[in-house]
Amino acid sequence: MNHAGQARALPATAVAVLVTILTAGCALSGHPVPSNPNPKSLDIGVNSTDPLIPPNGNEGYGRTLESARMAEAVIDPVEADASLKFSFETGGALPLPTPAKATRVLAKTVRPVLERYGMLAGFMVGGADKEQVGAPVTGRSRLLTVVLLRFPDANAAQHAAREMDAADTAVSPENMPVVIANQPSAFAHWRPNVPTLAATMAHESFVISVLVGHTSPDLAVLTGVARQAFEAQSTRLGGFSATPPDKLAALPLDSDGMLAKLIAEVPGRWPFPTVAITDYEQNAGWRTAAMVSGIVFGPRGSYLNGSRKHQSSVELDAINGWNELERYPDAIAARRAFPEPELEHDSAIRPAPTPDAVPDVRCFEQLDVPPQIPLRIICRLVHGRYIALIRGRDLKSTHQQVAAQLALLLNSE
């Protein structure tokens, strides 16, 4: 999530204390401490307020965690084309921990290739030059999807890149090979008179796969964006430290303690890392929707997973189903980010009541709720250096989740 700033207003109790000090003609030493409610006094419903202890992981969970780590190594689409400032409403940034998940955004014929060469982890990011309502439509916008896949070694990546392109090319007899300037190791193809191009290239133990879309079948533009994407992505990979394959199973499920501070979807149950993907239609790359859980993104992953409309100082973003917990450098940065322009200026959303006895929270009601995601209430809570985003079906249960989230943060201090 990415947010604009606003100064914090003093609560009435702080004003009263300040007036008393001034009229008494004295000063107090030390640092001000916020007044917080007693966690036991809050209406938390069935929710738990005790921090959970993360269990041990395994290789499957490790691949999902490594895929989330790869968000820090993937490019922002604007690095390939400065016009691609907008995220996709569906599938804008997504971990791809298995060949099965990866081929929900790549051609399904590619899956045997990924399995044959031992794909370990992956991540995708998409960008467009216009605000996208629903899934992007080919030919209406400039579009780019970058899929970054990791393999056991450079040899496996090189073979995989070549065979991925061959498998994708074979999907249609109209596909023709294309050369990407200054990228002799890249493989690419397109269908003449169709404004898209797919290209694949190995870089060390990674495979970079791009899908480029334009408003017309302009091959120079399509290949130019692909070339820029390859160059930018290869450069960015130079700063990424990948987890050795034999260490994936040992990756901690909550190395920064963020998930332990975020309320559980099911009380007392640890949120294991998962990625769920839904296809809107058989159109690789641009018509997928997804939900992740048990994932903590770093600063780049948090930005790419958000709206990308403005920069953010988020350090970490924990996601557990529909709820999120962001950590900022300090309480001042969190307070600046607390207002949410996308919520406060959306005509399809109106302010909603906030829970009793819970300070520093704002709630909204969505007026047009999609039947497949019946989450009507959205609440944002700021506490110290943390901002929590809680989504719920109705006002009462969402208020109880917000109260439980505050209690959990207090109990974690």
4-53: per-residue pLDDT in tens? Answer: 333 333 333 333 333 332 333 444 444 444 578 898 899 999 999 999 99
Q: What order of strands is seen across the sheet that includes strand 377-383?
A: 295-297, 316-320, 323-327, 386-392, 377-383, 361-366, 349-352
* pLDDT recorded at residue 288: 62
Q: Which of the two residues, 250 and 369, has the higher pLDDT score?
A: 250
Query: Would you place residue 98 in the very low, low, confident or very high pLDDT band (cuts 50, 70, 90)?
Result: very high
User: What residues are paired with 240 via a beta bridge?
Assistant: none
Kindly report the length of the chain: 413
DSSP 8-state secondary structure symbol assigned to residue 1: -
Structural domains of the chain in order of their starting residue, each with its CATH number? 12-23+256-411 (no CATH), 59-237 (3.40.1000)
Rounded to 5°, the CA angle 158-164-168 comes to 155
> CA torsion angle for 157, 160, 161, 162 (degrees, to 10)?
130
Q: Cβ–Cβ contacts within 10 Å for residue 370, how many?
A: 8
Average pLDDT, the chain: 88
* pLDDT recorded at residue 225: 98
Q: Kindly provide the b/e burial profile for residues 240-279, where b requires at least 16 CB atoms within 10 angstroms of the residue's own CB.
A: eebbebeebeebebbeeebbbbbbbeeeeebbbbbbebeb
Query: Would you place residue 88 in the very low, low, confident or very high pLDDT band (cuts 50, 70, 90)?
Result: confident
Model confidence pLDDT, tens digit, residues 277-318: 875 444 455 556 678 999 999 999 999 988 787 778 999 999
* pLDDT recorded at residue 91: 58
* pLDDT recorded at residue 177: 97
4-8, 110-114, 141-145, 404-408: which range is least confident on average?
Answer: 4-8
> Reduced to 3 DSSP states, what percent helix, strand and coil does the chain have, rounded to the nearest 5?
30, 20, 45
Q: In angstroms, what CA-CA distances link 346 with 66, 310, 325, 343?
A: 35, 16, 22, 5
* pLDDT recorded at residue 127: 93
Q: Please choose, from the candidates 315, 340, 342, 350, the residue with its C-alpha nearest in 3D space to the C-alpha of residue 330.
A: 315
Phi, psi of 164 (to 5 degrees): -60, -45
How far is Cα of residue 125 from the mean position of the Cα atoms in its chain?
9
DSSP element (H, E) containing 221: helix 219-237
265-279, 318-332, 339-353: which range is least confident on average?
Answer: 339-353
Among residues of the chain, what percentage have pLDDT more than 90? 72
Whether the Cβ atoms of residue 300 and residue 72 lie closer than 8 Å to each other: yes
* Those residues with Cβ within 8 angstroms of residue 367's Cβ, 6 or more apart along the chain or in another chain: 348, 349, 350
Q: Which of the two residues, 342 and 350, has the higher pLDDT score?
A: 350
Model confidence pLDDT, tens digit, residues 207-259: 999 999 999 999 999 999 999 999 999 999 999 999 999 999 999 999 899 99
